[in-house]
A and B are shown apart, each in its own frame.
Chain A
Amino acid sequence: MAGKSGRTINATPQNVWRKRILSWEGVLIVILAVVLVLCRAMSATYTLENVLREMPKYLAEMFLMLPMAFILMMGEIDISVGSIVCLSGTLGCFAVNAGMPFPVALLIMLGTGLICGAINGAIIVIFPELPSMIVTLGTQIIFRGIAEIMLGGGGSIAAKNADGFRAIGKSLGIVPIVFFLVIISGAIFVIISTKMKFGRELMAIGSNRLTAFYSGVKVKKVLFISYVTMGAFSALCAIFFTAATYGANTTTGKGFEMDAIAMAVFGGISSTGGKGKMIGGILSAFVIVCLRIGLGQKNVNSQVILLIIGILLIGAVLLPNISARISANKKKAIS
Chain B
Amino acid sequence: MKKKLLSLLLCATLAAGALAGCGGGGSTTDTGSKSSSESKGGDSGKKQYAIVPKSAGNPYNEKEVEGFKAIIEANGGEAVVNYPQDATADAQITVINSLISQGVDSIAVAANDENALQSVLEDAMSKGIKVSCLDSSVNADSRQTFANQAGVKEVAQALCDAVYDISGGSGDWAILSASSQATNQNAWIEAMKGIMADDSKYADLNLVEVAYGDDETQKSTDQTQALLANYPNLKVICAPTTVGVAAAAKVVQDTGATCRVTGLGLPSEMAEYIGKPDSGKSCPYMFLWNPIDLGKLSAYISLALVDGTITGAAGDTFEAKELGVTYTITEAADGGTEVILGAPFEFNPDNIEEWKTVY
* Chain A residues within 8 Å of B, Cβ to Cβ: 19-20, 23, 26-27, 30-31, 34-35, 38-39, 42, 44-46, 50, 53-54, 57, 148, 151, 153-158, 162, 166, 169, 243-255, 291-306, 308, 311-312, 315-316, 319-320, 322-324, 326-327
Does the CB pair B10–A155 fall under 8 Å? Answer: no
- Separation of A162 and B139 alpha carbons in the complex (Å): 14
Count B interface residues, CB 8 Å.
Answer: 66
Q: Do A153 and B98 touch across chains, with their CB atoms under 8 A apart? A: no
Query: Once bound together, how far apart are the Cα atoms of A244 and B119, in whole Å?
Result: 6
Q: Which of A304, A315, A324 contacts B11 (CB 8 A)?
A: A315
Docked complex Cα distance between A69 and B22 (Å):
29
- CB A50 to nearest CB in B, in angstroms, measures 4
Pairs across A and B, CB under 8 Å, 7 listed = A34-B16, A35-B19, A38-B19, A50-B101, A53-B97, A53-B100, A305-B22
Are A306 and B85 neighbours in the complex by a CB distance under 8 Å?
A: yes
Contacts of A319 in B (CB 8 A): 7, 10-11, 14
Min Cβ gap B330→A in Å is 24
Q: Kindly supply a per-residue 1/0 record for chain B positions 15-27, scoring 1 wherever the CB is within 8 Å of any chain A CB and 0 otherwise.
A: 1101111110110
Pair B85/A297 contact, Cβ less than 8 Å: no
A54 touches B19 (CB 8 A): no
A80 to chain B, nearest CB (A): 17
Residues of B166-192 at the interface with A, using a CB-CB cut-off of 8 Å, are 179-183, 186
Contacts of B10 in A (CB 8 A): 319-320, 322-323
CB contacts (< 8 Å) of A292 on chain B: these are 94
Interface flags, B74-108, vs A, CB<8A=1, else 0: 00000011111111111101110110111100000
- The interface bits of chain B over 30-45 (1 if a CB of A lies within 8 angstroms of the residue's CB, else 0) are 1011001100100000
Taken together as a complex, chains A and B put the C-alpha atoms of A168 and B276 apart, in Å, by 60
- State which of B12, B15, B98 has its C-beta within 8 Å of the C-beta of A296: B98
Q: Residue on B with the closest CB to A28?
A: B11
Contact B97 A155 (CB under 8 A): no
Given the complex, which residues of A lie within 8 Å of B182, measured CB to CB? Answer: 155
**Which residue numbers of B lie inside 8 Å of A, CB to CB?**
2-4, 6-8, 10-12, 14-16, 18-23, 25-26, 29-30, 32-33, 36-37, 40, 56-57, 80-91, 93-95, 97-98, 100-103, 112-120, 139, 179-183, 186
Report which of A158, A311, A322 forms a contact with B18, defined as CB distance below 8 A: A311
On chain B, the residues within 8 Å of A35 by CB distance are 15, 19
Q: Are A302 and B89 in contact (CB under 8 A)?
A: no
A22, closest chain B residue (CB): B4
Given contacts A45-B102, A57-B94, A156-B115, contact A304 B26 (CB under 8 A): yes
- List 17 additional contacts besides A154-B114, A308-B21; criterion CB under 8 Å: A34-B16, A38-B15, A54-B97, A156-B113, A166-B119, A249-B116, A251-B88, A254-B86, A295-B26, A296-B94, A299-B80, A299-B81, A302-B56, A302-B83, A320-B3, A323-B6, A323-B7
Residue from B97, B100, B181 in contact with A156 in the complex, judged by beta carbons closer than 8 Å: B181
Bound together, the chains give a CA A323 to CA B1 distance in angstroms of 12
Give the distance in Å from the alpha carbon of A299 to the alpha carbon of B37 in the complex.
9
Interface residue from A44, A303, A305, A316 paired with B40 (Cβ < 8 Å): A44
Closest 10 CB pairs of A and B: A155-B181, A158-B115, A300-B26, A299-B33, A296-B98, A50-B101, A302-B85, A251-B88, A247-B115, A320-B7
